[in-house]
Amino acid sequence: MLTKFPKDTAAVRWTNHIKNKMLFYGLSEQRIRRVLTSPKRVEEGIAPDTVAAMQRNDRGKKKEEIWVMYQQLTDNKKLTTNNTKESHKLKVLSYKLGAKLRLISAWRYPGVTKTGAPVPIPDDILHDLAAIESE
C-alpha cells in the first residue's frame, strides 16, 4: 500500500516523527488538521513550549481519543496567556490566519483520560522525544 505523506506548507511543518506515527496509528492528514482546528480538550505538552490537543473518536462501545502535539514556530507575545485553553484558541486563530506550526507527534489513546491530568503519551513516543532532545 502506497501512502502519500503530507507536504510542508506556509502554515504547517510536518516532522518525520508525526509522519511515522500517522502510519502506525492509521491517521490521515485531514484527521490531524481536524483535531487542530476543533479540539475537545487542550493540555500543556510534555516537551517544552508544546501543546497537546485532543478529540474523541468513539465507535460504539470502543472509547478512544486522538491526540496531536505541536509547537507554534512564530513568536508572537500576544498569543501567550496563563490559560492553556485560551492560549490554544488564540493559536488556532493564528493558525487559520497563517502562523506556522510544527506538528511533533500524534497518537490514539484507548479509553478516556481525566481532564487536567497529565497528557497520556505512549512509552515509545516518550523514548523518541528523549532521543530527539538529546541530539
Are 48 and 132 a contacting pair, CB within 8 Å? no
Lookup: cell for 105: 507527534
pLDDT in tens, 68-112: 999 888 655 444 555 566 666 666 655 555 668 899 999 998 888
Q: What is the pLDDT of residues 124-135, one digit of tens each?
A: 887 887 787 776
- What DSSP element (H or E) covers 56? strand 51-56
Mean pLDDT in the chain? 80
pTM value surpassing 0.95: no
Q: Which has more pLDDT, 8 or 88? A: 8
**Residue 96 parent element (H or E):** helix 84-97
Phi, psi dihedrals of residue 21, rounded to the nearest 5°? -70, -30
Return the higher-pLDDT residue of 114 and 87. 114
